[in-house]
Structure 1
Amino acid sequence: MSSSSTALRELQRDLENKANDLSKLQKDIAKNHQVKKKYTIQLGENELVLKELDLLNEDANVYKLIGPVLVKQDLAEANANVRKRIEYISAELKRLDASLQDLEEKQYSKREAILKVQQRIQSHQAGKAKA
């Protein structure tokens, strides 16, 4: 009888640990979504800047805000900087997508493991009720 209650306690402890792991994964997924949203907004802003830069004549004055000061910048340099930024943000978004997919797969397997432990607890309790 005591080995039965010990086994049940072990299963409940295992269930609690898996639930905590699942909770951590869900927090990581939410954090990932927030970061992805931020990068998506930045990507849109930079693409808009690039479109504006493409509309300018080659002899147009371009200024970059550095702290509280506007500093004159070469159009080609500004264009290259914006393109590099877009490239970087796009790469980060791809990395975040891969990370998110991995986290969601882990979340799915944790849920499956939790269901299995819950079923074992239920069958254990059902067996105990019959005895």
Structure 2
Amino acid sequence: MADLQARMQTLSEEFTKFQNDLQEAVGSRQKLEAQRQENLGVQKEFGKLKADETIYKLIGPVLLKQDRTDAESTVNGRLEFITKEISRLESHIKDTQAKIEKKKSEIIQLQTSAQAAAAGGGKQAVKA
């Protein structure tokens, strides 16, 4: 019985670890999505600019003049990176969800077998 409880404790800890991992991944995914939306907004604003308009970049408390092609390539690079990170996190989330489901079924299976053993042990004690 102690072995059964130790196994249940281990499964429960693993399940909790996977849930925490999933929460962190979902939080990171949400932050990346917010950054993606912000950069898409900047990219959209670049489309509205005329060729002769000046772009400034805020660095600390200072606005510095920036070349348009540099600014656009920076934003495009960020969007590419963010998109790859979102894809990576989405696959990590799917893997973690699969692990959670597997642990959940292991826990249910262990609980069922423990209940069957307890019911079987109780019937034997009654018969004796």
TM-superposed deviation, 1:109: 0.3
- Aligned position for 1:111: 104
- Name stretches of at least 5 consecutive residues in structure 1 with no aligned partner: 1-7
TM-score (norm 2): 0.94
**Alpha-carbon distance in 2 for matches of 1:96, 1:127:** 46
* AA matched with 1:74: D
**Alpha-carbon distance in 1 for matches of 2:17, 2:79:** 31
- Name stretches of at least 5 consecutive residues in structure 2 with no aligned partner: none
* Residue pairs, 1:17-56, within 5 angstroms: 17-56=10-49
- Aligned position for 2:53: 60
- Aligned position for 1:129: 122
Q: Following TM superposition, where does structure 1 have runs of at least 4 consecutive aligned residues deviating by more than 4 angstroms?
A: none
Aligned length: 124
SS at match of 1:76: helix
TM-superposed deviation, 1:73: 0.3
TM-score (norm 1): 0.92
* AA matched with 2:33: T
